[in-house]
Amino acid sequence: MGQGDCSYIILPFNQGNILIDTGGNKDYDLAVSTIIPFLKSKGVDHLDYVYVSHHDYDHYGALKSLKEHFPIYHVIDHYEKERQIGDLNIRMLKTSKSEDKNDNSLVMYCRYHQLHYLFTGDISSHKEEELYQEYGKLKVDVLKVSHHGSPNSSGVKLFEMIHPRIAFIGVGKHNRYGHPGRVVINRLKERGIMILRTDKDGNFCIRHYGNDYFVYR
């Protein structure tokens, strides 16, 4: 959904509807124009949880309108150690407080059966190194690339910690920041990681079947 981040998780058997970040665009109402029509097209009539990784507009700007126009049961924008939602386990990885709000992003380590996702908000490579020192190696199948592929993130230490099969990037076409950085794309390609990016692939879906998955663009 453009330059910002917005990831939707639907759990089977009505176990939960979860949004991680809402995106945000100051030129139009992203909630009314895009998010809500998308949810309704999937037959979704409420969100059980909305997680806000941090308070940059491109991560939470659509939240106000979304709350006004669509039922949301819980909004979580702070660290909590762990939460179980149906078969999905969400564990937050903790780093030290920073003066940079990007580095205070919630880092969410999600496990669904045998598959593991890592959502990194906008943290920098400095925080990635901190995570590596604290947690060591982690099993990660799917990575949400930090800070839209900024060259200040997705450093070498991150890939000493994790070895994902898929990496996805929320990034706008021809954005003024030049994201994603070439160095980040090269790091992903060198490791044989499948790259999904919203500027080229639009919306995409990772669908689970047992302990495996399929990608739909």
190 is a domain residue? yes
Q: State the alpha helices, DSSP H only, in 18-174.
A: 30, 36-41, 57-60, 63-69, 125-135, 156-161
44 is a domain residue? yes
Q: What is the structure's pLDDT at 1?
A: 40
2 is a domain residue? no
CATH number of the domain where residue 77 is located:
3.60.15.10
120 is a domain residue? yes
pLDDT level of residue 217 (50, 70, 90 thresholds): low
Show Cβ contacts of residue 150 under 8 Å, excluding neighbours closer than 6 positions.
122, 124, 177, 179, 180, 181, 184
90 is a domain residue? yes
The residue-averaged pLDDT of 181-189 equals 97
**Structure confidence by residue, pLDDT tens digits, 113-149:** 999 999 999 999 999 999 999 999 999 999 999 999 9
The residue-averaged pLDDT of 169-194 equals 93
109 is a domain residue? yes
The residue that leads in pLDDT, 45 or 217, is 45
Q: Please give the tally of structural domains in the chain.
A: 1
195 is a domain residue? yes
**Is the confidence at residue 72, as pLDDT, over 60?**
yes
Per-chain mean pLDDT for the chain:
94
Domain coverage including residue 82:
7-216
126 is a domain residue? yes
